[in-house]
Amino acid sequence: MNPPPAAAPAVGARIPVVAVAGNPNTGKTTLFNRLTGSDQKVANYPGVTVERHTGRMRLPCGREVSVLDVPGTYSLSARSREEEIAIHSIAGIDGEVPPDLVVLVVDATQLSRNLYMALQVLELEVPLLVALNMTDMLEARGESIDVEALARGLGAPVVAISALKGRGIDDLVSAIERTLAAPDRARPGARWVPDSAELRADLDHVAASIPVEWTRGSQARARALAAWALLSIDEHDELRGVPDALRRTALARRAQTTAQGRHVDAEIIRGRYAWIDARIESFVRSSARARSATERADAILMNPWLGFPIFLAVMGVVFMALFSWADPAMGVIEGVFDGLSGLVRGAMGPSIVRDFITDALIAGVGSVVVFLPQILLLFLFIGILEDTGYMARVACLMDRVMRTMGLNGRAFVPMLSGYACAVPAIMATRTMERQRDRTLTMMVVPLMTCSARLPVYTLMIGALFPATLVMGFAPTQALLLVAMYLFSTLMALAAAAVLSRTMLKARSVPLIMEMPPYRRPHWASVVRLMFQKARAFLSEAGKVILVCTVALWALLSFPKDSGVETRRAELATEVAALDEAAATPERDAQLERLGAAQSELDGQALRSSYAGRLGHAIEPTIEPLGFDWKIGIGLIGAFAAREVFVSTMGVVYGLGDADETTVTLRDRIRAEQRANGSPVYTPLVGLSLMVFFALACQCMSTLAAVRRETRTWRWPIFLFVYMTALAWVASFVVYQGGRLIGFT
Amino acid sequence: MLNTSNILPGQRARLVQIGGERSFRRRLMELGFLPGTSVRCVRRVGVGGLVEFEVRGGHISLRASEAVALVFESDR
């Protein structure tokens, strides 16, 4: 097992590629993280929005190796884009570089099923190294695997590891080094050869049509790819990059065998399993009753009566955490950044540079960092749910409901998180396997009533709707708020139903979901996940958010009117002088007057800024919704984050700093008049505005998060356009419909 | 004849045949659902919801409505 270390590699040799592959739930990604540490890169595979994770690792001899995290797959036949990519990466076909070594992560507790894939890799003559994971769990149930026998049986090196606990990683790294230096040690391994002459003839026939770039001159590889082609190619396979000649040959041959009453698929799969079954007894020592702990836990957690209440309780905790536990931390972050702005303001004289630093840079960074508590908390829970195996049960329990929307049960946690904030919810879509499901969820999550909409609703409801009781007991204002939640939920469900039948229509794929055994969460990897997500958000989405904040600031602050600026400077000097003076009632009254004059100037400046002009420019488009150009400025400001609408309106109306509970702002809203003396804000306008906020994509952070997750601008642009159009139409219907039936 | 809608939790049965779309059939076979294999129905989740099977030591959930073409015969 331990030959002397290999000779040093040739100088200038190309960097070898090691592909880490395996079934889902085998700890493949944990191992990938162990091998590469933080030295990872994420990009998309060419032409598809499937992420390609690569990293670098250094072997003990000093040689650098590129490591590829291949999407998890049960076999080398594809049911999804992700699996297709896994196959191309392992086989090195259709433009993918053939790996120098495949490290196949094998779940020791499910050996025969995992060896099925090992056989496929061996058939392709790709050098294989088996990383036998979860041996500790196998031992815990009284079984063990004879590593030497397995290595002999497969003809490939086998190393027992525990990816979670980091056991055996050094051995694995040395094995990678040895195998890369002498790839023949891992090739040609054992392989399955069909017993039946008929099947052998089929394979030989199709093998002749495999392109030579794929076979690289090997007859055995040609036969293995022929088996893949016979198993995978059919009239609706959606496979890309299959040469026409191969497609025709494979289809014709399969039709021929079907006509003979044979089932080639079953023959090939059964053949491989027969090979495994003939040897498995020599690999595994003793057999005990398996999974008893998991079955006992599931007897409670998936109990027809208890399962659902327990599920609701667990989800309740996750939701409460996002909705309210994150609040104190977010308050602290906001406080810190406000304090920082205050310090800068105190240290520098009034100038455009100071405003840029405080209102654009510090505010921008603050608006990125403020998402961290929710992101960290959500991924803490997702890490625990995934690690323990409960996430698969959540998916099971919610499958029925989510299916009606064209989604599967795994979309539930992101959807629920959307009620707190769309940004972490969009990041949480990563727990779904199919890109199409992820995209669909991302397209509807921003419709959920997130907490940033609440200040807008509170302001409108508080200012425009009476605090009366409906039918003598139900408070009108609270009912309205509940109605807004229901409305957004129904719209999200409807949007999912429509999108899944149109833009994101996908052939329905019957669900096949593995139920992993329950495990204790591994805290180090949970924490790792949390910080990985936080870092990715800061570095990728953060940049977009920062740029947008600066752009919005410029829009709201320029052009500067010299008259206003001079008057503002004078006021500042007067205030500074008075601040020094002794406190008297007259001084306080004077200060208040000056403060009001400053706020009025701020309002003047904003109204004449680019955003103000833009408000005028968009007025014709928002007038049919009942909004005037000042509300238009609020809508522009709200793009930074919905709650900014409230403070922007405060400035527009010359009231200075205001929040949704500020009495003067509510009064001002009630008093605001149009040119003809009629009030701007009626309950109907308030309703129209709330409907607009419920549906419009007034959130650059959401768009930045979608951009990060889909790695294209196409989806964020689509999201923005469809939500804005939906909001406009809905507000139009509410306002014009309301007027038709006699409201003003 | 047993199928995914009438197999009972805890019941062990021999798989006789798999129907349905080819990629679905193929994946099930690759996971060990080969005709002739003994499988156990572990539980059913909800009415008309999912059915969990144990096969080759792995646990796989299928939608009862989508796995209609799985036919079993009683093992005992």
Judge: B50–A396 Cβ closer than 8 Å, yes or no. yes
pLDDT in tens, A351-398: 888 889 988 889 888 888 888 998 899 989 988 998 898 989 998 888
What is the pLDDT at residue A5? 41
Alpha helices in A623-656 (DSSP H): 629-637, 644-652
Q: How many residues does chain B have?
A: 76
Encoding tokens for residue A632? 């238009």
Q: How confident is the model at residue A10 (pLDDT cuts 50, 70, 90)?
A: very low
d(CA A91, CA A86): 9
Question: Which residue of chain B has the CA closest to A231?
Answer: B26
Residue A234 in contact with partner chain B when CB distance is under 8 A: yes
**A20 has which bridge partners?**
A69, A103
Evaluate if residue B46 carries a pLDDT over 80: no
Which of B34, B59, B60 to mutate: most A Cβ within 10 Å? B59
CA A291 to chain centre: 32
Average pLDDT over residues A459-469: 87
Which of A239, A254, A283, A515 to mutate: most B Cβ within 10 Å? A515
d(CA B28, CA A227): 17
Judge: B62–A511 Cβ closer than 8 Å, yes or no. yes
Question: Which residue of chain B has the CA closest to A513?
Answer: B61
Q: Which of A112, A269, A517 sits opposite B29 (nearest CB)?
A: A269
What is the pLDDT at residue A535? 87
Identify the residue with better confidence: B14 or A641: B14
Question: Helix, strand or coil for residue A79?
Answer: coil
What is the pLDDT at residue A508? 74
Question: Which residue of chain A has the CA closest to B52?
Answer: A515
pLDDT in tens, A178-229: 999 887 766 666 788 898 999 999 999 999 999 988 988 888 899 999 999 9
**B74 has which bridge partners?**
B13
The amino acid present at A575, given as its one-letter code, is V
- Measured between beta carbons, the chain A residues lying within 8 angstroms of B20 are 510
d(CA A370, CA A137): 40
Q: Which of A266, A298, A510 sits opposite B29 (nearest CB)?
A: A266
Question: Which stretch of A35-44, A124-133, A406-415 has the lowest confidence by average pLDDT?
Answer: A35-44
Average pLDDT over residues A426-442: 87
Encoding tokens for residue A523? 């805290």
**Total CB pairs under 8 A between chain A and B:** 104
Q: How confident is the model at residue A333 (pLDDT cuts 50, 70, 90)?
A: very high
Closest by CA position to A420, among listed A449, A394, A442, A443: A449
Q: Which of A79, A112, A399 sits opposite B23 (nearest CB)?
A: A79
- Return phi, psi of residue A44, to 5°: -100, 150
Judge: A510–B24 Cβ closer than 8 Å, yes or no. yes
Average pLDDT over residues B52-68: 90
Q: Return the HEC string of A419-448.
A: CCCHHHHHHHHHHCCCHHHHHHHHHHHHHC
- Closest CA–CA distance from residue A274 to any residue of chain B (Å): 11
Evaluate if residue A264 carries a pLDDT over 50: yes
What is the pLDDT at residue A405? 81
Average pLDDT over residues A250-278: 94
Average pLDDT over residues A619-626: 93
d(CA A202, CA A208): 10
- Return phi, psi of residue B45, to 5°: -110, 115
pLDDT in tens, A132-188: 998 888 888 788 899 999 999 998 999 999 988 888 999 999 999 999 988 776 666
C-alpha pair distances (Å), A49 with each of A25, A105, A438: 22, 25, 11
Q: How confident is the model at residue A687 (pLDDT cuts 50, 70, 90)?
A: very high
d(CA A106, CA A284): 14
The model carries a pTM of: 0.84
- Measured between beta carbons, the chain A residues lying within 8 angstroms of B35 are 266
Closest by CA position to A102, among listed A81, A80, A86, A116: A86
- Closest CA–CA distance from residue A355 to any residue of chain B (Å): 58
Residue A509 in contact with partner chain B when CB distance is under 8 A: yes
Evaluate if residue A662 carries a pLDDT over 50: yes
Judge: A266–B35 Cβ closer than 8 Å, yes or no. yes
Contacts of B42 (CB under 8 A, 6+ apart): A295, A298, B9, B10, B52, B53, B54, B59
d(CA B51, CA B64): 6
- Closest CA–CA distance from residue A367 to any residue of chain B (Å): 42
**Residue appearing with tokens 């690759």:** B30
- Closest CA–CA distance from residue B2 to any residue of chain A (Å): 20
What is the pLDDT at residue A2? 42
Residue pair B58/A113 in contact (Cβ under 8 Å)? The answer is: yes
Q: Which residues of B touch A (CB under 8 A)?
A: 20-32, 34-35, 42-43, 45-46, 48-50, 52, 56-63, 66-67
Average pLDDT over residues A429-433: 81
- Measured between beta carbons, the chain B residues lying within 8 angstroms of A270 are 29, 34
Q: How confident is the model at residue A4 (pLDDT cuts 50, 70, 90)?
A: very low
- Measured between beta carbons, the chain B residues lying within 8 angstroms of A265 are 22, 25-26, 29
What is the pLDDT at residue A175? 94
d(CA A92, CA A370): 44
Evaluate if residue A445 carries a pLDDT over 90: yes
What is the pLDDT at residue A251? 94
Average pLDDT over residues A597-621: 87
Q: Which of B21, B45, B48 sits opposite A397 (nearest CB)?
A: B45
Closest by CA position to A417, among listed A408, A426, A404, A406: A426
What is the pLDDT at residue A539? 83
Residue A266 in contact with partner chain B when CB distance is under 8 A: yes
Identify the residue with better confidence: A405 or A157: A157
d(CA A475, CA A498): 34
What is the pLDDT at residue A44? 60
Judge: B49–A399 Cβ closer than 8 Å, yes or no. yes
pLDDT in tens, A485-499: 999 999 999 999 999
Residue A513 in contact with partner chain B when CB distance is under 8 A: yes
- Measured between beta carbons, the chain B residues lying within 8 angstroms of A113 are 31-32, 56-58
What is the pLDDT at residue A641? 85
Residue pair A417/A378 in contact (Cβ under 8 Å)? The answer is: yes
- Identify the sign of the CA torsion A321, A323, A324, A325: positive
Residue A262 in contact with partner chain B when CB distance is under 8 A: no
Question: Which residue of chain B has the CA closest to A290?
Answer: B57
* Host H or E run for residue A467: none
- Closest CA–CA distance from residue A273 to any residue of chain B (Å): 8
Judge: A396–B61 Cβ closer than 8 Å, yes or no. yes
Q: What is the largest CA-CA distance in chain A?
A: 107
Interface confidence, given as ipTM, is 0.95
